[in-house]
């Protein structure tokens, strides 16, 4: 007995000593990334550079892995042996996109549908956008996700691009500043972002193959500039490469874009992931620095083969893995965060409403029609009034609990609506829905033609109403571009506006048009008829309440356009080349307008717009005075200050815009370029605020393709400070005595096909 005991003790001691000598398996978070990677098998590595999408994670052939959050777009692989947890990736720009129904929970996981990016940009209020990001990120955290696949900041190059609602502006400074603010707000929760879609993804038609042919200058000044600002100022955890080809190469397979520019020039330290199934060569993606393939999974065999025949080195995989693991270490999942599954949706609705109010743009307000005066009874026209659009379609949708339409919002604010009219529209909406399959019902009304009302019926509404409000709607979405016909109003829509105006004006009653649209439309041929026009865009779940706040004057409009409204579609600089060539099945898209996108074009080529960039009315007015420049000669930096005074009778905020006009030497330049902007505090009547802008050398420079550098020409620089790109209220100038080479860049990303750009000199 004793002997056996002794033997047992000896054996146990040996075991303990052995266990102590045997090196423990490295663990992510405890050991260095290098050690963790060293402990990975080649198969581990192949699995780890690919994710899993919703469509693949339930499939035993590719997993199996459990669904961690229903409705998430994807996740990363996990290796429990090494302490590597999965990271959950969820869409999208206007709020967290997950399924309300989650296994094991009895309460729905509703999320807040915040105003779309176009609305946020129209606020010109970066601290407010940061606040929205903070609230949105809190839902990401508290519902158990790790990354929001947002913000999206592609340039709104053409009004027909289906995803414009997810994007900010036609101008890269606004796009970049808004995206940076959104990243900072979101990431303040300890969750990640994915700045997307990098880059030149401005067309949805054939989006996974189309080749955008863009000059180096247009890339640097327009299409990459916003990303540069977002990366440098926002520090996003991840960047998402785009679907399209750019100058001949898939963006996800181009080391010049993902390594030379993004990492070497801009100093990006995070991880790059592909767009879902983007690109066509997993090996090239790995080499280019597209670290993670989403959802990947099916490309494993290709990587195995490439590693075997040495067309891909393990070193390259290890480099990408370093970035993936570094990212995973930061996630709430890795840190063991226990979500509450109960974010404060009520508090977030308040922020969504505030942002919607600030992002709506008052386009017309003749004879101070707005805010409402003595209005009690409203004749509410337009199908969209009864089914107000919160956002567009596709991965940017949000599953929210409830969004009021205008009829409900007016009711809440104690206005009376005409019952016959309301009944008529409700019947119409019901019948549209009934004729659609269940899966299409959600957006059926948005896409249905407008209800055709007879003149007599319209006339019958005049007597019992104080005012008419008509909503015109346009839906748009991911994966398709709007047909050109949707740019103009249909005959039925125009007749509706015209007939309502005729009947109501005859009785000395006013008409207000509300635009609930995802992208720019034609306004020039009907805007003279109504008394007021409010552009609501697609303003999220609180949007209808925000419209009412503005119409009745509880709030004063302070949004301004971050995109120009042309007179006609044909006058858009990319109209002739959009979506690409050949038109019906495009392969190449020639960006022949070069840097002349939006107002840069309209101003320089003297093409009048319906509403210019930066435009928006208020119920008060502002005086600009005391413009001061810190110096008459530029030396490193110059500051510009201007005093803004509310000279009206209502408290309001003003968006102040600084444009610079640069001397033209060797290369042509736009007449004006936005170089700084700010929004005042809420100024009471007679109250003033001094706004100060700082301009550095980069703000003076243009990109010279021949020498691949940002260069500021010597000469006289003019500063235009104004209320819109056309409404300049104060000017000043300073000189740059000697040309400055501000920044040398790499000579990369040149067009693979001959590109003839327009020029104001020709």
Q: Which residues bind ligand BGC (CB under 6 A)?
A: 73, 91-92, 149, 196, 275-276, 395
Measured CA to CA, the distance from residue 756 to residue 398 in angstroms comes to: 41
Measured CA to CA, the distance from residue 371 to residue 328 in angstroms comes to: 51
Measured CA to CA, the distance from residue 190 to residue 618 in angstroms comes to: 38
Q: Is the peptide bond before 579 cis (omega within 30 degrees of 0)?
A: yes
Beta carbon of residue 251, minimum distance to ligand BGC (angstroms, whole number)? 12
Beta carbon of residue 358, minimum distance to ligand BGC (angstroms, whole number)? 25
Task: Rank residues 112 and 241 by Cβ distance to ligand BGC and give the closer one.
Answer: 241
Q: Considering 275, 446, 531, 713, which one is annotated as catalytic?
A: 275
Beta carbon of residue 194, minimum distance to ligand BGC (angstroms, whole number)? 7
**Token duo for residue 531:** 């008394």
Beta carbon of residue 707, minimum distance to ligand BGC (angstroms, whole number)? 35
Task: Rank residues 275 and 522 by Cβ distance to ligand BGC and give the closer one.
Answer: 275
Beta carbon of residue 381, minimum distance to ligand BGC (angstroms, whole number)? 35
Instruction: Tokens 């400055």: give the residue.
Output: 740
By the 10 Å C-beta count (0-12 exposed, 13-18 middle, 19+ buried), 29 is classed as: middle
Beta carbon of residue 231, minimum distance to ligand BGC (angstroms, whole number)? 18
Task: Rank residues 211 and 395 by Cβ distance to ligand BGC and give the closer one.
Answer: 395
Contacts of range 103-110, beta carbons closer than 8 Å, 24 or more positions apart: 103/67, 103/70, 105/341, 107/341, 107/342, 108/401, 109/143, 109/341, 109/399, 110/345, 110/399, 110/400, 110/401
**Residues 6 or more apart in contact with residue 410 via CB below 8 angstroms:** 378, 380, 417, 548
Classified as helix, coil or strand, 759 is: coil
Measured CA to CA, the distance from residue 559 to residue 576 in angstroms comes to: 30
How many other CB atoms are there within 10 angstroms of residue 716's CB atom? 12
Whether 393 and 443 have beta carbons less than 8 Å apart is answered as: yes
**Residues 6 or more apart in contact with residue 10 via CB below 8 angstroms:** none
**Would strands 715-722 and 728-736 be described as parallel, antiparallel, or unpaired?**
antiparallel
Beta carbon of residue 382, minimum distance to ligand BGC (angstroms, whole number)? 30
**Token duo for residue 669:** 């330049």
Measured CA to CA, the distance from residue 449 to residue 427 in angstroms comes to: 15
Task: Rank residues 73 and 512 by Cβ distance to ligand BGC and give the closer one.
Answer: 73
Task: Rank residues 74 and 289 by Cβ distance to ligand BGC and give the closer one.
Answer: 74
Beta carbon of residue 567, minimum distance to ligand BGC (angstroms, whole number)? 32
Task: Rank residues 274 and 745 by Cβ distance to ligand BGC and give the closer one.
Answer: 274
Measured CA to CA, the distance from residue 277 to residue 22 in angstroms comes to: 42
Beta carbon of residue 396, minimum distance to ligand BGC (angstroms, whole number)? 7
Task: Rank residues 92 and 473 by Cβ distance to ligand BGC and give the closer one.
Answer: 92
Any idea what the Cα angle at residue 135 is, between residues 131 and 136, rounded to 5°? 115
Is 318 tagged catalytic?
no
Residues in the chain: 762
Stated as kind and residue range, the H or E segment containing 407 is helix 406-412
Output phi, psi for 692, to 5 deg: -120, 130
Task: Rank residues 275 and 661 by Cβ distance to ligand BGC and give the closer one.
Answer: 275
Task: Rank residues 96 and 469 by Cβ distance to ligand BGC and give the closer one.
Answer: 96
Task: Rank residues 149 and 513 by Cβ distance to ligand BGC and give the closer one.
Answer: 149
CB-based closest residue to ligand BGC: 73
Beta carbon of residue 196, minimum distance to ligand BGC (angstroms, whole number)? 6
Whether 712 and 736 have beta carbons less than 8 Å apart is answered as: yes
Beta carbon of residue 91, minimum distance to ligand BGC (angstroms, whole number)? 5
**136, 155, 199: which is closest to 396 by C-alpha?**
136
Task: Rank residues 478 and 654 by Cβ distance to ligand BGC and give the closer one.
Answer: 478
**Token duo for residue 723:** 């209320």
DSSP-derived letter for residue 26 is: P
Output the CA–CA distances (angstroms, integers) from residue 640 to 167, 670, 729, in the order listed.
29, 21, 14
Instruction: Give me the residues paired with residue 166 across strands.
Output: none
Helix/strand/coil (H/E/C) assignment for every residue in 424-492: HHHHHHHHHHHCCCHHHHHHHHHHCCCCCCCHHHHHCCCCCCCEEEEEEEECCECCCCCCHHHCCCCHH
Task: Rank residues 149 and 697 by Cβ distance to ligand BGC and give the closer one.
Answer: 149
Beta carbon of residue 278, minimum distance to ligand BGC (angstroms, whole number)? 8
Output the CA–CA distances (angstroms, integers) from residue 69 to 53, 72, 144, in the order listed.
11, 6, 7
Give the catalytic positions in this structure. Answer: 275
């Amino acid at each position: 007995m004793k002997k056996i005991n002794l033997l047992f003790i000896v054996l146990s001691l040996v075991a303990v000593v052995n266990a102590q000598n045997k090196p423990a398996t490295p663990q992510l978070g405890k050991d260095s990334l290098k050690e963790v990677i060293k402990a990975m098998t080649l198969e581990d590595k192949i699995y780890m550079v690919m994710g899993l999408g919703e469509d693949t994670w339930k499939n035993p052939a590719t997993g199996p892995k459990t669904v961690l959050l229903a409705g998430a777009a994807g996740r990363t692989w996990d290796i429990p042996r090494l302490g590597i947890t999965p990271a959950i990736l969820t869409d999208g720009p206007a709020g967290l996109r997950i399924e309300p129904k989650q296994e094991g929970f009895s309460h729905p996981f509703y999320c807040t549908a915040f105003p779309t990016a176009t609305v946020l940009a129209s606020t010109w209020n970066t601290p407010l956008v940061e606040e929205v990001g903070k609230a949105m990120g809190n839902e990401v955290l508290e519902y158990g996700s790790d990354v929001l696949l947002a913000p999206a900041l592609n340039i709104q190059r053409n009004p027909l691009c289906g995803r414009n609602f997810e994007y900010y502006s036609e101008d890269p400074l606004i796009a970049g500043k808004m995206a940076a603010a959104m990243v900072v707000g979101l990431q303040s929760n300890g969750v990640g972002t994915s700045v997307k879609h990098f880059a030149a993804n401005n067309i949805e038609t054939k989006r996974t193959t189309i080749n955008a042919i863009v000059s180096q200058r247009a890339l640097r000044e327009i299409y990459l500039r916003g990303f540069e600002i977002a990366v440098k100022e926002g520090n996003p955890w991840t960047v998402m490469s785009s679907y399209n080809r750019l100058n001949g190469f898939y963006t996800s397979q181009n080391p010049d874009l993902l390594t030379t520019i993004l990492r070497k020039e801009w100093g990006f330290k995070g991880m790059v992931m592909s767009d879902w199934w983007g690109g066509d060569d997993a090996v090239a993606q790995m080499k280019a620095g597209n670290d993670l393939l989403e959802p990947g999974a099916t490309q494993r065999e290709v990587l195995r083969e490439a590693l075997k025949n040495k067309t891909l080195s393990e070193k390259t995989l290890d480099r990408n893995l370093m970035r993936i693991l570094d990212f995973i270490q930061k996630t709430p999942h890795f840190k063991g965060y226990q979500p509450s599954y109960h974010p404060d949706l009520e508090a977030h609705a308040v922020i969504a409403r505030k942002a919607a109010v600030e992002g709506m743009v008052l386009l017309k307000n003749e004879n101070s029609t707005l805010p409402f005066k003595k209005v009690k009874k409203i004749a509410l026209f337009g199908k969209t009034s009864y089914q107000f659009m919160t956002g567009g379609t596709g991965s940017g949708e949000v599953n929210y609990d409830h969004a009021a339409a205008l009829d409900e919002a007016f009711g809440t604010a104690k206005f009376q609506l005409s019952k016959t009219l309301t009944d008529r529209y409700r019947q119409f909406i019901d019948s549209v829905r009934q004729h659609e399959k269940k899966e299409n019902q959600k957006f059926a009304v948005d896409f249905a033609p407008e209800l055709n009302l007879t003149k007599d019926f319209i006339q019958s509404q005049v007597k019992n109403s104080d005012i008419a409000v008509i909503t015109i709607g346009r839906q748009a979405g991911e994966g398709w571009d709007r047909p050109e016909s949707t740019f103009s109003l249909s005959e039925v829509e125009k007749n509706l506006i015209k007939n309502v105006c005729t009947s109501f004006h005859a009785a000395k009653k006013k008409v207000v048009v509300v635009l609930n649209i995802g992208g720019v439309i034609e306004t020039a041929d009907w805007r003279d008829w109504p008394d007021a026009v409010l552009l609501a865009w697609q303003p999220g779940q609180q949007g209808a309440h925000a419209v009412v706040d503005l119409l009745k004057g509880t709030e004063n409009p302070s949004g301004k356009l971050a995109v120009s409204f042309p007179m006609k579609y044909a006058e858009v600089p990319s109209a002739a080349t959009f979506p690409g060539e050949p038109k019906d099945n495009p392969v190449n898209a020639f960006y022949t307008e070069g840097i002349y996108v939006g107002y840069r074009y309209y101003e320089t080529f003297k093409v009048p717009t319906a509403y210019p960039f930066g435009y928006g009315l208020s119920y008060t007015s502002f005086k600009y005075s005391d413009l001061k420049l810190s110096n008459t000669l530029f030396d490193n930096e110059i500051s510009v200050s201007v005093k803004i005074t509310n000279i009206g009778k209502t408290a309001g905020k003003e968006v102040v815009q600084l444009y610079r006009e640069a001397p033209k030497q060797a290369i042509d330049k736009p007449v004006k370029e936005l170089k700084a902007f700010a929004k005042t505090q809420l100024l009471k009547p007679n109250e003033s605020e001094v706004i100060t802008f700082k301009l550095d050398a980069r703000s003076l420079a243009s990109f010279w393709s021949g020498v691949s550098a940002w260069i500021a020409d010597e000469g006289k620089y003019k500063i235009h400070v104004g209320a819109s790109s056309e409404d300049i209220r104060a000017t000043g100038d300073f000189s740059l005595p000697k040309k400055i080479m501000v920044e040398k860049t790499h000579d990369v990303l040149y067009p693979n096909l001959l590109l003839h750009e327009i020029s104001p000199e020709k």
